[in-house]
Structure formats: structure tokens, C-alpha cells
A and B are shown apart, each in its own frame.
Chain A
Amino acid sequence: MLKNTLTIFTKEFMSYFRTPTAYIIIAVYLVLSMFATFYSSNFFMNNNIGLTSFFTYQPEILIILIPALTMKLWSDERRSGTIEFILTQPISYTSIILGKFLAAFAFGCLLLVLTLPFDLYVSALISLDSTMILSAYLGTILSIMFLTAIGCMISAFNTNSVLAYLFSVFMGWILISINFDFLLQPWMNLSENLSVKLTQSLNFYHHYQDMIMGEPGLDNLMYFCTLSVLALWINRIAIDYKKQ
């Protein structure tokens, strides 16, 4: 199982580099990230002990880029018919799904790893709070994880990778920006504390902010993990469902 996952992972991960996709995505990601850091979030003015300027716009950038990593994972297999090849190999569906997911996830993490030189560069300018930055990176990695899972899921439902990309961006955007406050308005009077907790527990930014401010907790981890597991589970269903 583990070996098969690794085989799929290696193939998919290397696939990114066989086409220009990888290089374009890396370039776009780095340029966008740096652009957001320097032009949109007051890099020189803000208190950047935890590199807040860098992390502020990461979710928005990743919403656009992660679907580009995941869009082809399943839709291309379907389009070219290789899905019949891969699904008739003597390995379980779960390892195929996990392998593909992990490949895109690892590529997402690679994007983050490539920003480490930037951290080093900034640390030469001012002293940084390294553990706080670690927590922020963790938050970004978890965001990548859940966006990747969503992207895999959407790709599994689509034959057209452009559609898969657009749907994934849309879905990511919905999940990240949705705020359930309006649902809870009627109960606001009941207990303010409870309703705030309810909406916060399903709000992406609440969890992400906790992480980049250097205060990760169990609820943050739970949010990202359950969302990813849910998406991968639906991915599994989609594979069976779309065959017929």
C-alpha cells in the first residue's frame, strides 16, 4: 500500500517537471507572493517580526495556484483514457488517490520551501521570531493541504481540466471567504459567546490568523484535517461514481 502510494506519488510529482507547468507555477507563485509582500502589505512599514506581510496574502495566492496543480490529476486521465490503465493496475484506489494528492501537496510545499531564502534575506535585515514563523508556515502548509484535497476532489468529477481549474478556484474561494454569521443571527441573543465560537470554528480566516499570529491549536488542526479528509473521501466516491 505504502509502496504503491509512493510509486504513484513519484510519477505524479515528476510529471510536473516534465512539462513547463511546474516552472510556470513556481515563477507565478514567487512573483505574486513577493509582489503582494512588497506592494500590498506594507512590507517596510509593518511590524514584520513574524513576516506577517508575506503571509497575509498567501491564501489568496494559493487559491489561484493550487488548482493549477490539481486540475490535471484526474481530468487528464479521464480525457486521455489512461484512467482505464491506472484503475486496472493491481493496486488499491486509495493508494492512487493518496499518491496523487500527496504529489500535488508536496509540490505545494516545495513552493513554500522556495520562499525560505526570502526569510533568510529578511532575517539579515531585522531579527525574526523563528518559532512564530514556523507556526505561520505550518498554517500555510495546512492551507495548501486542504486546497489540494479540494482540487483533487473537483478534478475527479471533471473531464475538462480547464473546468476543473475554474471550479476549484471557485470552490476554494467559497470555502475560504464564507462566513456563517448570517446563519446564526437569530441565535445571537441566546448566547453571544457560543454563536461566535460556532461561526469561528467554520471560518477559514479565523484558523489561518491563529496560525500566522503564532498561536496554533487543536481546533485549527481539526478544521484543516477534517476538511481534507472529507474532500479526499468524496474524491474516492467520485472515482467509482464517474466510471459508469
Chain B
Amino acid sequence: MIKKHKNVGLLFFLLLMVVIFVCLNVSTRLIGGNLKIDMTQSQRYSLSDASKEILSSLTMPVQIRLYISSNLATENPQYANYAQFVLRYLKKYQQAAKPDLIKIETLDPQPYSPLEEEAKRQGIKPLPDSGGKSNLYFGAVITNAKGQKAVIPNFISARSGYLETDISRILYKLNNSSKPKLGLVSPQLPLITHAYGQIIPNWAIVAQLQNDYEIIELKDNIVQIPGNIDVLLVINIEKLSPLFTYALDQFVLRGGKLLIITDAFSERQASTHGQNSAPTANLNALLQNWGLNVNNEIIAGDRTLGEITSIQTPQGTKAANFPYWLHLSKSEINQQHPATKGLDNIVVKTSGIISPQKNLGQTKYTPLLTTTAKGGNIAAKDLYAHNQAELDNLFNETSQQYTLAAEIEGKFPSLFNTNILAGTKFAKAMPSFLSYSIAPSKIIVIADSDFIVAENWADTSQTQNNPVYGLAPIYDNGSFLLRLLDYLTNRTTILGLSNKENFNTKSIGEELYMQTFNQYAAAYNKAQAELIQRLQLAKNYETQISQRLYPLTAQRAKEIEENNKAIQSLQLKLKQIEYQIKEQNQQKISSITQKNIIYFPLTCIILILLCYMYLKSRQKKKIEEWVHEARTH
């Protein structure tokens, strides 16, 4: 009887303890759930102040619908970790915002389900699974209360460093319903992002701009810039007409913000139009009036910043520092200027040189990109006539610091005395002529246009279905342009955002493969280069034969046959090398696995056993000595 009573008491006590346990945990979670330490080295889980500011200014609720396939982890392991991370990161936004302002919904679209249909309709793009079928989803649709939405078709881990910037920009965009208007003048950068139904990856920057701005394309022969334009972007105009000069002049005097990208030698144009492409227009009259000189005759170089490339010399290819392709780092990028603060790697190729006028008056000149103090130069016209090895020899080191991009701000006088169309009937429709600025303006000039070409600074392999969020930047060029425009449109909150280190470094498998490959790289590259030459030769023979340029002599036939044989043997050799690499890599992997699964535990056990046995024998000895001593006494 007593025992029964005791049992009930005990049970009750246990129940009480369990209740206390549950209450303690739930209340800790509710009250202190946000008390988290970010223990990652790159502070991956911490929102920047700028993001917090954007969150605190959110005026309406935002819903984030995250589509993640449940079999993502098993089918595509590279994405699994990143999916976890994205979810965590979005939760951080939710926690930092006012309660119930951000709602996150995680959805799992199964193949052939209505949810999958919905995901596709919303613009989420499927990823391939291990069987090659496209039925994995990992994207998000973010909508505000007004029904405006932003879609991330796929999250790609190569862009993970930009995750915060991307989400914060989207939230900012959804909160400010109208996009700023960007006037674009660029005869050589057409707004065509598709050619033959395909996205041109090199113009990825256009997609990035379209995402943030309403782009208004302008011709380079207009006489007036529309007044509703927030910022004007001028890229590589071929010829600066007097009418357009007037238009720019008056635009700036009215306080318009202007970003000019010019180039002394556009590698992009040289490669697309051949070597006889026209140099870009000389803006100097206009620029000098604002206080800037752009020297298009010489090109800046710097040995300390040059890109390491393989240069063809008569002795063969060698790796060398090419001084006109500059990799700028923190010390060459102005870290005080709000637009360039935090950027730490920008690539520019064959840039012109900018210098301030002696008499600046009321304006303020700020260099944005420079070379080091060990700069040098080369004449622009030399670039057309020489190969890389010769250019390398022609480099003239002047130990001078050159400026590659600069900002000038303030009030300016006009370049003109009167309205250029004065007296014609058009003049009446135009705003009145200004001889001096009525509002301060900001003008930024960049003396290189190749820096916006995406292949120079990003991996564009995944931009096909996902032009904005599928771009994986390697250098900060894209951020540089976007930030300059943010700066000119005065969006200071967004300027505070900075990109983080990428979450995804190489996997161990890739790293091992690279190591193995590097052992064979020289032989492999050599064989490949030879193969390309041989193939070119074969093609030449073919055209010659088909066009009947030469008679098919016996000797020629022999040559062709030899060439074909060489091609075959080269292809075989390449295959063999590939096989060797694969084999060796496989060996490496299995040796690592074996080491860790068999030898490592074995060594541990033996070491511990030896340790214990040593201690034990020492103790035994000690006791035996004592006993001996005790007995003799």
C-alpha cells in the first residue's frame, strides 16, 4: 500500500520534471532564440548594418516562398549545404525585421505536382538531377503586399558571397516601388541580350542593370536628354556629334548625373570588328571643360599589377606578366569613396589615362582607380601592330601613378555661348540655354570599357536561364559599375551593402583533381595546342581542295595524310593523358579512404594500448620495489 503510494508520488515528480524541462526549453527558444554566436570565420550568418537599415525601413509585409526539392541533398549534394545556408540566412532576415513583417514559406515541389506547375509558372527554373532529368528546384519568389515580385530562378553556390547583397537589394526594390531611370547611350553595347534566341553571356551586365533600373535607350545624335532621367550612362560612343555634345553639356549643368565609359583601346571591339576598328570618340573638349583630361594616345600599364598569362614567343609559350591587363586590389581602389569602399579586386584591360586640369576652380576631383606608383605606358597605336611578346618588350616604365577612373563634382560653366539650335524652330521646344550650372553635378569617367565585359570578371556558364542570379562574379567589376550607379542615383542605403567571401570553396574532390591535373598540365596543354594547329591546317587543306586552289599533287596528298595521322595520334595522346589523370586521381582517392578507414583507427588503438601498458608496467614495477623494500625491513 505504502509502496503504491510512493510510486504515484515518484511518477508525479517525474512528470513535473519533464514539464519543467519542456517549459524551460520552449521559453529559452522564445525569449533567447536570437541569442546566437556566429562562429564562422567569414561571419556568414551576420547581417550587415546596411541590410538591417533596409529591414528597419520596410513598410509592408514581404513573403518569401522558397522552393526546395526534398531530394536536393541526395541528388545534388553540392546544393544541399547551400540550401541549408540560404534557409538560415533568410531566417536571419526574418529575425532582424519587425515581427511578422517577413514570412518565409518552404515548399517542396514534387515532380508532376500542382506545386511544381506553380513554381515553373512563377519563374523558378529546374536543376538537373543525377539522372539528367530537370526536376530539382532551388529558388525563391519574393512578393510584397502590393503583389510586386522578384524571382530568383536558382540559387547558385558560386554566387553565395552575393547572397546578402541580392536579398537586400530585392527587399529594397520591393519597398521602393519605382525603379530609377537609367539613360543608356551606347552604340556598341546594344540592348540586345538575346541573339538567335540565346542570351549573350558577355552582356550579363545589361541584365544586372535591367534588374535595378528602368533603362531608357538614347541615340547619340539627340540634342536634349529627357528630364526624367536619373542617371545617364554613356559607353564608347564612336563619334561625338555637336548636338549630343550640347545635350550632355546642358544635362550636366541642370545637375544631371553622368557616368562615361570610354576607352583608348577596346579589346572587345578589336576582337569582334577586327584590328581596323575605329578608336572611340574623343570627348576631350567636353571633359576638359569639366576639368578632366583623358589621354587616349597612351595606355597605362603596371608590372606589379599585370596579369600572368601565357605569351607566345618565338621560343614557345611562356608564362609572363602582361603589364596592360591590370588586376587592381584594395590599395589601387579608392577606399574612402562611398562607391568604391570595400571593393578589393577589379580587372581592367588596356585602359587610357585620366588626369585633372590644372585649374579646377570650384569642382572636386577624386581618383577612383589608379595604378601603383610604379606605372608605365605604351602608345595606343602600338597595340594594333604587335603581338603580345613584342608589346611586353615595348613597355615603358615611367614610375608614375596613373589614374584609370575618376569622379569630378561641382558646378561648371557651359562649353557653348548660346543654344546650338538658336534661331531654328526646334529651339522653342527646348529648355532655355544655361551658361552656368544651376545645380551641382557628379561626373564619373572610366578610361576602360573592357571591364564591363562579363567574360573578364565572371563565370557566366549558368546565366542561360538565370541572367541575374546565375552570374558568378570572380572579380568586383560588376559591383563596381552597379555601385557607381547607386552612388550617382544617391541610393546610400544600398551602397552600405558589401559582398562576402564565397561560401563555396572547392570541394576536396576538385582540389585533388586539380593537383593531379597540374602534374600533367604541361604535356596536356602542349598536345592540345598542337592539335588545334593541326586541325586548323586540316581545315585549310579542305578549303583549298574544295575551292580547287591547288591541284592535288601526290606530295600534297601525302602531306594531308601525314597531318591526319598526326591529328589521330594527338587525339589518342590526349585521351591517354586524361585516362592517366583519372587513374591517378582514383588511386589518390582510394589511398586517402584506405588510410583513414583502416590505418588511422589501427594506429590510434595501438598507441593507446601502448600508452596504457607503459603506465601499467611502471605501476607494477613501483609496487614490486615497495614490496621488496617492505619485506627486507
Contact = CB atoms under 8 A, between A and B. Distances in A.
A131 interface: yes
A125 B516 CA distance: 13
Given A26-B604, A241-B10, A197 B30 contact: yes
B63 to A, nearest CB: 12
A157 to B, nearest CB: 12
A130 B602 CA distance: 26
Contacts, number: 164
A201 B28 contact: yes
A118 B600 contact: yes
Contacts of B597: 31, 34-35, 38
A234 interface: yes
Contact of B82 (A47, A117, A126, A130): A47
B503 interface: yes
Q: DSSP class of A's interface residues: helix, strand, loop or mixed? A: helix
Contacts of B37: 135, 215-217
A125 B35 CA distance: 34
A84 to B, nearest CB: 21
Interface in A1-55: 17, 22-23, 26-27, 30-31, 34-35, 37-38, 42-50, 52
A82 interface: no
Interface residues of B, number: 58
For the side of the interface on A, what is the size category? 35 or more
A114 interface: yes
Contacts of B81: 46-47, 52
Given A23-B608, A38-B596, A217-B35, A129 B25 contact: no
B582 to A, nearest CB: 14
Interface in B408-449: none
Interface stretch (A87-95, A163-171, A225-233): A225-233
Given A49-B505, A201-B25, A42 B600 contact: no
B10 A209 contact: no
Nearest to A129: B41
Contacts of A219: 25, 28-29, 32-33, 35
Contacts of A135: 37, 39
Contacts of A121: 595-596
A48 B507 contact: yes
A50 B531 CA distance: 42
Nearest to A206: B29
B474 interface: no
Given A26-B604, A118-B596, A44 B24 contact: no
14 contacts: A26-B608, A30-B600, A47-B504, A48-B507, A48-B508, A129-B41, A132-B39, A194-B30, A201-B26, A209-B84, A214-B44, A215-B39, A217-B34, A237-B14
Interface of B: 10, 13-14, 17-18, 21-22, 24-26, 28-30, 32-42, 44-45, 77-78, 80-82, 84-85, 88, 100, 157, 503-509, 511-512, 589, 593, 595-597, 600-602, 604-605, 608-609, 612
- Sorted nearest first, the 5 A-B pairs with minimum C-beta distance are A44-B509, A201-B29, A30-B601, A217-B36, A135-B39
